[in-house]
Structure 1
Amino acid sequence: MAAKNSGTIPVKNIYFQRILDEIDVGIHAIDQNGKTIIYNRKMSEIEGMHIGDVLNKNLLDVFSFNQNEDSTLLDVLQKGHAIKNVKQTYFNIRGKEITTINNTFPIIEEGKIIGAIEIARDITKLEKLIRENMNKKGNTRYTFDSIIGKSKQIQEVIEASKRVTRTSSSVLIVGETGTGKELFAQSIHNGSNRSGKPFISQNCAALPDSLIEGLLFGTKKGAFTGAIERPGLFEQAEGGTLLLDELNSLNPALQAKLLRVLQEKTVRRIGDTKDREIDVRIIATINEDPFEAIAQGRIRKDLYYRLSVVSLFIPPLRERKEDIPELVQYFIDKYNQLFGMNVKGIDDEVLNIFHHYDWPGNIRELEHIIEGAMNLIDQEDLISYIHLPIHFRNKTQLKKEADIFSQSNHLISQKGKNIKPLDQYLKEVETYYLTKIMKHYQFNITKAAEALGMSRQNLQYRLKKYNINKK
């Protein structure tokens, strides 16, 4: 046995760590203070975190939870009873959404709760499939009248798209995530003579290759174990339009089969020897520069030229910011109707923030911001800065807080000395902001937590951590 303090890992610990790293479920344990003491390799993969970024850190410093939703680990630690088969959605420190099914148990020694352990199964991808893999047959809601914006950039694309409705040529729609590519695809379908036939949308990134092939081309009974006689999406969209979303996620082998279908206008089910004629218009979308995708091998060059008979480039929101006020009002009206509210608009401060923000998530991000704000608004007529979701405020407030600290000599002295370490600066920013919010809500934990988009548990921890209290 190794001598004490030799640096050698004890044999029992080696076996224990090997078992933890080899089992195919996530294991996460915390001590009585909420600090992580066990975190295995599978949990690291599920949550997209390095083990060193989680071990010996307080849980709430690394992960965040939706408002009114607590951590199952901390809930068990506080209440002392097990929680089994509970679904939980939360976010890592980088904003990645994680969904797991958890079994969580208290660790009790001599009648005292000394920690909690969680066994987690990852269902993040399954949740994504449920949300995204929704085939739309004859359920196209959007027309060209649904597209909002008077800017020159968006109007040019609308006019080009309207001309495309006269033919059945393939269309390639290029645009960043959240720019509204499917809205244009549905509008083209509804404006064409195929509008009375099916419109089917398939996200090519939503399923693994083994499933997407059968889904697209269909299967013959007995082609493989469990295979049934089933038409694929090409056959189901007969006479109508098939939208292949995120085409650049398909592997090259499937792209070659897709090219054959486009050229021959026939499809062969997996395991079959019979070719079936099809009459389907193909609209494909990609979320990156097509020539870069070709250079990087994500799209076959021959498939690109076959699909891009017509190419439409949807501008990102940062290139059409003059459309923001109209888009904002549209989303406010939409959620007024859904929520039974009567919000009039946004104040000048919020509009200024929106105009100076780059909108990496484009129109989809703008809609989510408005929806989130309207969940936090009380009786006010206008959405103000305090109503914006916390993650968005975090992105936009650093400059504002930096200006405050600069003016009060908290950040840098007049001679440019005494620059503070980043951790200290961020602590001061968070302390300042939390103090400001708590005073605004007169130290009402429930209302402040709701406004900040965090659980009461999370807020109470941070108030205690930074010694913020009502004086």
Structure 2
Amino acid sequence: MAIVDIILKVDHELRLKEIIYMGESKKWFSDKTLYRAIGEKLDYIIGTSITSDGGIIEIENKFFKYQWIEEKNGGTLYLSRDGVLLDLYEQTIKQVAEGIQIFDKNGYFIYGNPASEKLEQYKNEDFKGKHVLELYDLREEYSTILTVLRTQNPVASRCDRFKVKNGKTLTTINSGYPLKIKDRIYGAVVFESDLSVLKQIKKRTFNLENYVESNQSPSDDSLYTFDDIVHTSKGMKDIIYFGKKVSLTDSSVLVVGATGTGKELIAQSIHSFSPRRHKPFIDVNCGAVPYNLFESMFFGTEKGAFTGSVTKKGFFEMADGGTIFLDEINSISMEMQAKLLRVLQEKRFQRIGGTKYIQCDVRIIAASNEDFFQLMEEQKVRQDFYYRISTIKINIPPLQERREDIPILAEYFLKNLCNQYNRREIIIAPQALTALLEYSWPGNVRELQHVIEYGFNRASEETEILEFQHLPDYIQSSKSYTHKTAQLPKEFVSEVTDTNPKNFQEQMELYERRIIIDSLILYKGNITQSAKTLGMSRQSLQYRMKKLGISNM
């Protein structure tokens, strides 16, 4: 066991009663992360059951190797990050195509990776503790390992010819390096390759070059990815950054947001970015699952369980190795929450009418458009169920809180419609864009998409500009927009509504003036915010204002 970082003491009911931090381990966690868990069951805190032979657990995205010591009045859990690192290092070495051998400073064998075992046809347990001269029939001056240990200097790409234990002669290309800690040598490592290994490395390189040169996507899944999220706001950038970090874990995720904010888009993106991306993604609208069919749909059925039943997989079995997305999870009854909770805790279930347990490896992503704390107060959601599904919580802000995303989203939806129906490119008029920016968007991104689709269908096929009059009536009559327009100075209203330019250049300048003036009006003369919305620097906007004769309001 490596050095202990954290000690968790539990009582006879396996409830956490004391935490002891060693060294600087307390700095690894946010304030009170573990202290909030005092009094909680140990298996709930670490998300798994403890076994006497040890294992690996995760706390706040940090992995620890543990050792369990049972005591008279409870027990103690010793956690070590170094133990996990050693396991990870060993797993890494096992994936290397070249043979790797490690010897101590006296030339005795310590470890060989699978590639070395295959190359020289030996087993680690047969070599361990034996000297290099016992293992190979070679002259001392031609041994890479002995040369490195004797000189304490690296040896690069040297050709060695020697006999292995079974009498076979091998010719290898070796590179050896001394293993030093604080300038003191503790051993040496040698990397060995023969012709077959070199061919294997060459093949990998060739395949990599083909992949890099290919324009084809490595995955043809139809699920959304983080690259599909159209945005420019900092809020969405932060969510995507956090979502990518979360994707690499198996922690349960709860996505919370109002209707139409894109909860399923985030859920699919997390799955698509995760190591489970090549496994199933099963999305379930919990609000549409009938109460009397809930268990059979989630857990499956065995033939004969009830009249007309057949052997059929449920959602958990279908999603094994992948992800289940539980949309509208707040609509699940308390009774069904208890049954789901048991599966999430034990990671196994029985089909309806079945007698054997089926193990499941499933990552849960849930979504809700309601406040869970209020639902818990109203006793519509179990506390233990909420804490199990919300290990990580992602809040998606409504569209009205990220208005800078409105122009880019509107343009994206309009461009897609033009491509879908083979129409010429259409741009959005400044007055229409101002109306979109001023509207409150209770239906969020989904409502914006429908509004753009309405305007697209209302405009004629020859239309090149989506105008204010093409928008739905309720957008045109929006109190916030009409009130805002009523307060504009006359000179700005005339600039916005003038539609009689004399030639192309004047038309382009007028159009540019209208966009800039609308943005300045919207942000009350704030040049920095206007430039950000228009996608340009503050200096570029000031230059264009001066060129077009627009004074700062």
Q: Compute the TM-score of the two structures, normalised by the length of structure 1.
A: 0.54
* Corresponding letter in the other structure for 1:389: P
Aligned to 1:268: 350
- Match for residue 348 of structure 1? 430
Alignment pair present for 1:338 and 2:420 = yes
2:406 partner SS: helix
Q: Which residue of 2 aligns with 1:382?
A: 465
After TM superposition, give the deviation of residue 222 of structure 1 in Å: 2.0
- For 1:311, the equivalent position in structure 2 comes to 393
1:218 aligns with 2:308: no
Query: How far does the alpha carbon of each residue in 1:30-68 deviate from its partner, in whole angstroms, 9 at most, with x for none?
Result: xxxxxxxxxxxxxxxxxxxxxxxxxxxxxxxxxxxxxxx
**Candidates 360, 367, 391, aligned match of 1:278:** 360
1:392 Cα deviation after fit: 4.4
CA separation of 1:402 and 1:317: change in aligned 2, threshold 3 A = closer
1:288 aligns with 2:370: yes
Q: How does 1:50-449 map to 2 (within 5 A)?
A: 139-378=221-460, 379-390=462-473, 392-393=475-476, 399=482
CA RMSD of aligned residues (A): 2.2
Aligned partners of 1:397 and 1:309: how far apart in 2? 39
Shift of 1:393: 4.3
Q: How many angstroms does 1:396 deviate by? A: 5.8
What is the distance in 2 between the residues matched to 1:251 and 1:399? 45
Report the more deviating stretch, 374-383 or 313-322. Answer: 374-383
Relative distance call for 1:402 and 1:165 in structure 2 (3 A) is closer
SS of equivalent residue, structure 2 residue 358: strand
**Deviation of 1:403 (Å):** 7.0
Provide the rounded CA distance (Å) in 1 between the counterparts of 2:248 and 2:370.
27
1:403 to 1:165, Cα distance in 2 relative to 1, 3 A: closer
Q: Secondary structure at the match of 2:393?
A: strand
Distance 1:396 1:373, change over 3 A: farther
User: Whole-Å Cα distance in 2 between the matches of residues 288 and 246 of structure 1?
Assistant: 9
In 2, Cα distance between the equivalents of 1:147 and 1:398? 28
SS in 1 for 2:367: strand
Specify the SS of the correspondent of 2:366.
strand
CA distance in 2, matches of 1:401, 1:325: 18
Answer yes or no: is the 8 Å Cα contact 2:260–2:444 preserved in 1.
yes
Q: Measured at CA, do residues 265 and 323 of structure 1 come closer, stay the same or move farther in structure 2, by a change above 3 Å?
A: same
Residue deviations 1:278-334 (CA, integer Å, cap 9, x gap): 011110001112212222233211111011111111111010001111111111111
Q: Give 1:275 shift.
A: 1.5
Task: Kindly report which structure 2 residues correspond to 1:41-52, keeping only aligned pairs within 5 A, or say none.
Answer: none
Report if aligned partners of 2:376, 2:383 keep a CA contact under 8 Å in 1. Answer: yes
Report deviation, 1:399. Answer: 4.8
Q: Quote the residue 2:112 is aligned against.
A: none
Q: SS of the residue aligned with 1:283?
A: strand
Residues 427-461 of structure 1, C-alpha deviation per residue, up to 9 Å, x if partnerless? xxxxxxxxxxxxxxxxxxxxxxxxxxxxxxxxxxx
Does the 8 Å contact 1:328/1:366 carry over to 2? yes
Contact 2:427–2:466 under 8 Å retained in 1: yes
Q: Is the contact between residue 345 and residue 383 of structure 1 (CA under 8 Å) also seen in structure 2?
A: yes
Whether contact under 8 Å (2:435, 2:481) holds in the other structure is: no
Do 1:353 and 1:396's aligned partners in 2 also have CA atoms closer than 8 Å? no
- Whether the 8 Å CA contact 2:259–2:444 is kept in 1: the answer is yes
**Change beyond 3 A, Cα 1:212–1:335:** farther
One-letter amino acid of the structure 2 residue matched with residue 213 of structure 1: E
Report how far residue 140 of structure 1 moved.
4.0
SS at match of 2:259: coil
Query: How many pairs does the alignment contain?
Result: 267
Q: Aligned with 2:404: secondary structure?
A: helix
Counterpart CA distance in 1 for 2:474 and 2:294 is 34
For residues 344 and 402 of structure 1, the distance between their equivalents in structure 2, rounded to whole angstroms, comes to 24
Cα separation, 1, equivalents of 2:418 and 2:375: 41
